[in-house]
Structure 1
Amino acid sequence: MIKVAAIPSKGKDLRVFIDFPHDLHRDDPYYVPELFMAQRDLLNPAKHPFFEHGRMQLFLAYKDGKLSGRVAAIFNGNHNTFNKSNDGFFGFFDCVDDQEVANALLQAAEGWLRDQGLSTMIGPVNPSTNEACGLLVDGFDSAPMILMPYNPPYYKKLLEQYGLAKQVDLVAYALYDTDLGDKPVRLQEALTARLATKGITIRPFDLKHNFKRELEQFGKVYNAAWDKNMGFVPMTKAEFDFMGKDMKLIADTDFCLAAEHNGEVVGIALCLPDINQVLKKIKRGRLFPTGVFHFLLGRKKINALRILALGVLEPYRKMGIEACFYATIMKKGREKGFNMAEASWMLEHNDLMNRAIEHMHGVRYKTYRIFDKQLS
C-alpha cells in the first residue's frame, strides 16, 4: 500500500525530506550529500527569497509503511511573468526503483499544480534553473560537480513511464589540462592588449572590500546576458544576495572575473572549486560536530573547478573577452594545481558556446534532461 503525504517545510518532516536521499544512495560511490543547512534554508519559506515570488509543496511517499520517495511541486511566479507562461514545476525528486511509488509521487505533484491553475509540469528543478536542475541521463561514472544534481540511471525510466517527455538537454563539458595546450595562454597577452585599446580590462572581483557593489554588477550582467536562454528566470536582488553569501564562503577570487568598460562590468566569469570533493566525506551533510574539519582541511586538496557562469553583454561579444576569461582561468588553474574544469551547463542547441568549448578540446561527459508534460 502506498501513501503520499503533503508535509510542512519545517520541523521533523523537513529533516526526513532532506535526509531521504542519503539513505537511498548510501551505497552509491558517486553520490554527494547536500549540506543539510543549505538544503534546510533553500526549502524554508521564512529563509529563502525564492518564496517572495514562488510557492512549494513537499511530499513524502511511504510504501507498506516504509519511506520510499520524495518530490516537491513548485510554482515560480517570476518564471511565468518573465516567460509569459503558465508553467508548473517539480523538483527534489528521489525515489526507490518502483514505478508505483514514482507514479504516486508525481500524481501528487501534478494534482497540486493543477490546483494552482497551472498548465504544464516541468522538471526536475530544485527549485528553479538558477539552482541545481535536470535529471542525469548520461555520465554516471563520476560524481557531480558543485551545484549539479545526481541520480541513478533508473530515474529516467520512472519519469518516462509516468508520461513525462524530453523538453531539452543540458550538457556538461570536461576540460582536461592535458588536452588544452598552451595556445589560449600564449594569445592572452595580445588579446588583453587589444581589449585595452577599446577601454576594456579584465580583473578579479573584489569580494573582500566591495562585495555588495560587485554582486550588484554581477547580477546586472547575469540577468541581461542569459535572458534569451530557454527556461531562463531572472534573479531578484534578494536571491543574488542570498546566493552571494553562500558562494563567498568557497569562492576563489582568482576565478571570479569581470570585464569592465568605462567603470561598468560588461562580462563575467564565475568558477568555483569543486567543493563536492569535500562534501562526499561529510556524513549526511552535517558540518557539526566533525564535518567542519573535513570541510576546512579538504578544501586544500581540491583539484577541479566548475565554470558556473561565463557571459558577456551582447554588444561586447566576439571581441575576445570570452577567450581572455578562459585563458586567465587556465593559467591560474595550472598555478594552483587544478587539472580539470567542468563547463556547465550548456543548452544542447547553444551552438556558438558548444562549438567554442569543443574547439578547446572540451569533452561532453554528462547530460542532464529537463522533462515536461501538458496538464491541460
Structure 2
Amino acid sequence: MSGITIQPVRTRRERRLFLTFPWRIYRDDPLWVPPLLPERARRIDPRRGVFFRRGEAEFFIAWRDGEPVGTICAAEDRATNERNGRRDCMIGFFECIDDYRVAEAMFQHAARWAAQRDLNALYGPFNLDYEDSYGVLIEGRDRPPAIFCGHTPPYYQGFFERFGFQPARGDNLAYAIELDDTTPAARRLFRLADRVRARGRFTIREADMDHWDEEIDRIHYLLNVSLAHLPDHIGWRRDALAAMLEPFRQIVDPELVLFAEVDGKAVGWLPGIPNLNEVFIHVDGLRHPWDYVKLWWYMRRQPECLAVKSVLVLPEYWGTGVSVLLFAEMGRRAKAKGYKWLDLSLTSEDNPNTPVLAERMGAQLYKRYRVYRLAL
C-alpha cells in the first residue's frame, strides 16, 4: 500500500525506535507530556510487564521509504476476554504521521493479527493498560493533560472513524474544579456536607500506609463493585491494581487519600495524588542522564493541581451524601496544602452519578476522550 510496510519489533534498536517514535509526532506540541521511557520499556517487556501475565502482545512499526511513519500494538487480553465473554483484540501505542494511508495500513495489519487468533473486534486505544493515557482526545486542547490522561493530535479521531471504528461506550470526561470556597457552588457543597456529617453515619479517614496490602484489598473491592454497573466495565485484577499503585506509594500524601467508612467498613474512596505531569512535562521522558537532574529539581515544587482519579461509593450508599462529604473534605484539605485546582478524571458519560456531582460542584468539563471498537 503506497510503499508502506508493517514490520514487527524484534531487535533492541527497533524497540527503542518504537518507544521514542512519539517524539516525531509531538516534538512541537507544547501540551504533550512525554511518557517516561523506563516505565514504557518495562510495560512492553514480556519478562517484566504486568500485562503479559494475562495475555500476549506484539508491537509493530510502519515504514515508508526507509523511514518510520507509525507504530501500533495488537494484543489479546485473554483473562479479561474470558471474564467478559468477549474476543477483543486490544490495540494501542497508536502513533501516526498525518497520512491516513499509514493509519489504514496499521489498522488492517492489526485486523489480520486479530483474525489469526480468532478475535472478532479491535478495541482501543489502550497502551496495555485500561487506566493510563487511553482513548483518543476529542475535545480540550487548552492545557496539558493531568496524570494518567493522554494527548493525541486532532487528526487521530478522523483516522479511526474513517476506517469504520465506532465509539465503544460513552466518552470519558475530565473536569476541573477551582479551589475557591467563596463561589456559590463551593458554599452549597460545604452546606450539604455539614448536613451529612451531622447525621453521624459516616467516618472519613486517611489512608493507612502501614497497612498497604489491606488498603489495596479495600480499593480492589470498591473498584469492582462500585463500577460494575457501567457498560463495558472491565473488572480489575488485584495484581494489576497493586502494580499501578505501587509507584505512588512513596510520594502520595496519605492525608489526601480518603476513605468513607460505616461501622469500620470502607464504603467510599476518593484518592488525590499530585499531578506529576506538571513535573514530567519538563523531563523529556528521562531519555538522557541529565533529565534525572531536572526530575529531582521539579519534584521539589508543589504542583498546582491535585488529581482525583476515582470516585467510588458502594451502590447501596448512593444518594446518601457520602460522595459530597468526601469531596468537601478533599477540597478543604487540598486548599490548605496549597493546591489551586482539582482534576477529576476520567469519568464515563455512562456513569449516572459522577458527571452530575461534578457539575453541581461547579466543575468545568475540560477534556473529552473516546475509546473505539470495530467489529471484524
For the aligned pair, the TM-score class normalised by the smaller chain equals over 0.9
TM-score (norm 2): 0.93
Contact 1:173/1:342 (<8 A) preserved: yes
5 Å matches for 1:1-376? 1-8=3-10, 11-168=12-169, 169-178=171-180, 179=183, 180-194=185-199, 196=200, 198=201, 200-207=202-209, 209-283=210-284, 285-286=285-286, 289-299=289-299, 300-375=301-376
Cα distance in 1 between the residues matched to 2:243 and 2:222: 17
Mark the CA change 1:293 to 1:329 in structure 2 (over 3 Å): closer, same or farther. farther
How far does residue 304 in structure 1 lie from its aligned partner after superposition? 0.6
Q: Write the letter of the residue equivalent to 2:291.
A: G
How far does residue 49 in structure 1 lie from its aligned partner after superposition? 2.3
Q: Write the letter of the residue equivalent to 1:324.
A: L
Larger deviation: 173-182 or 243-252? 173-182
How far does residue 247 in structure 1 lie from its aligned partner after superposition? 2.2
Q: Report the 3-state secondary structure (helix = DSSP H, G, I; strand = E; otherwise coil) of the residue aligned with 1:215.
A: helix
How far does residue 187 in structure 1 lie from its aligned partner after superposition? 4.3
How far does residue 160 in structure 1 lie from its aligned partner after superposition? 1.7
Cα distance in 2 between the residues matched to 1:277 and 1:215: 26
Q: Report the 3-state secondary structure (helix = DSSP H, G, I; strand = E; otherwise coil) of the residue aligned with 1:220.
A: helix
Contact 2:203/2:261 (<8 A) preserved: yes
Write out per-residue CA displacement over residues 47-92 of structure 1, whole angstroms, 9 at most, x where no aligned residue.
1222211211111111111111101112112322232222222111
Larger deviation: 312-321 or 287-296? 287-296
TM-score (norm 1): 0.93
Cα distance in 2 between the residues matched to 1:370 and 1:249: 32
How far does residue 287 in structure 1 lie from its aligned partner after superposition? 7.1
Cα distance in 2 between the residues matched to 1:112 and 1:132: 23
How far does residue 97 in structure 1 lie from its aligned partner after superposition? 0.2
Cα distance in 1 between the residues matched to 2:272 and 2:6: 40
Q: Write the letter of the residue equivalent to 2:258.
A: L
Contact 2:226/2:314 (<8 A) preserved: yes
Contact 2:89/2:119 (<8 A) preserved: yes
Q: Write the letter of the residue equivalent to 2:349.
A: E
How far does residue 336 in structure 1 lie from its aligned partner after superposition? 1.7
Q: Report the 3-state secondary structure (helix = DSSP H, G, I; strand = E; otherwise coil) of the residue aligned with 1:219.
A: helix
Contact 1:278/1:295 (<8 A) preserved: yes
Write out per-residue CA displacement over residues 332-364 of structure 1, whole angstroms, 9 at most, x where no aligned residue.
111122122121112223233211111111111
Contact 1:130/1:233 (<8 A) preserved: no
Cα distance in 1 between the residues matched to 2:221 and 2:164: 38
How far does residue 153 in structure 1 lie from its aligned partner after superposition? 0.3
Q: Write the letter of the residue equivalent to 1:159.
A: F
How far does residue 108 in structure 1 lie from its aligned partner after superposition? 1.3
Q: Write the letter of the residue equivalent to 1:165.
A: Q
Cα distance in 2 between the residues matched to 1:43 and 1:228: 31
**Root-mean-square deviation (Å):** 1.8
Cα distance in 2 between the residues matched to 1:106 and 1:186: 52
Q: Write the letter of the residue equivalent to 1:172.
A: A
Cα distance in 2 between the residues matched to 1:276 and 1:159: 27
Q: Write the letter of the residue equivalent to 1:188.
A: A
Cα distance in 2 between the residues matched to 1:124 and 1:69: 14
Contact 1:185/1:330 (<8 A) preserved: no
Mark the CA change 1:348 to 1:129 in structure 2 (over 3 Å): closer, same or farther. same
How far does residue 128 in structure 1 lie from its aligned partner after superposition? 3.9
Q: Write the letter of the residue equivalent to 2:92.
A: G
Q: Report the 3-state secondary structure (helix = DSSP H, G, I; strand = E; otherwise coil) of the residue aligned with 1:117.
A: coil
How far does residue 211 in structure 1 lie from its aligned partner after superposition? 1.3
Larger deviation: 328-337 or 125-134? 125-134
How far does residue 165 in structure 1 lie from its aligned partner after superposition? 2.2
How far does residue 11 in structure 1 lie from its aligned partner after superposition? 2.7
Q: Write the letter of the residue equivalent to 2:159.
A: L
Contact 1:170/1:347 (<8 A) preserved: yes
Q: Report the 3-state secondary structure (helix = DSSP H, G, I; strand = E; otherwise coil) of the residue aligned with 2:310.
A: strand
Gaps of 5+ in 2: none
Cα distance in 1 between the residues matched to 2:117 and 2:251: 38
How far does residue 313 in structure 1 lie from its aligned partner after superposition? 1.1
Mark the CA change 1:287 to 1:71 in structure 2 (over 3 Å): closer, same or farther. closer
Cα distance in 2 between the residues matched to 1:188 and 1:60: 52
Contact 2:186/2:362 (<8 A) preserved: no
Q: Report the 3-state secondary structure (helix = DSSP H, G, I; strand = E; otherwise coil) of the residue aligned with 2:114.
A: helix
How far does residue 295 in structure 1 lie from its aligned partner after superposition? 2.6
How far does residue 257 in structure 1 lie from its aligned partner after superposition? 1.0
How far does residue 265 in structure 1 lie from its aligned partner after superposition? 1.7
Contact 2:193/2:321 (<8 A) preserved: no
Q: Report the 3-state secondary structure (helix = DSSP H, G, I; strand = E; otherwise coil) of the residue aligned with 1:62.
A: strand
How far does residue 19 in structure 1 lie from its aligned partner after superposition? 0.8
How far does residue 18 in structure 1 lie from its aligned partner after superposition? 1.2
Contact 2:31/2:143 (<8 A) preserved: yes
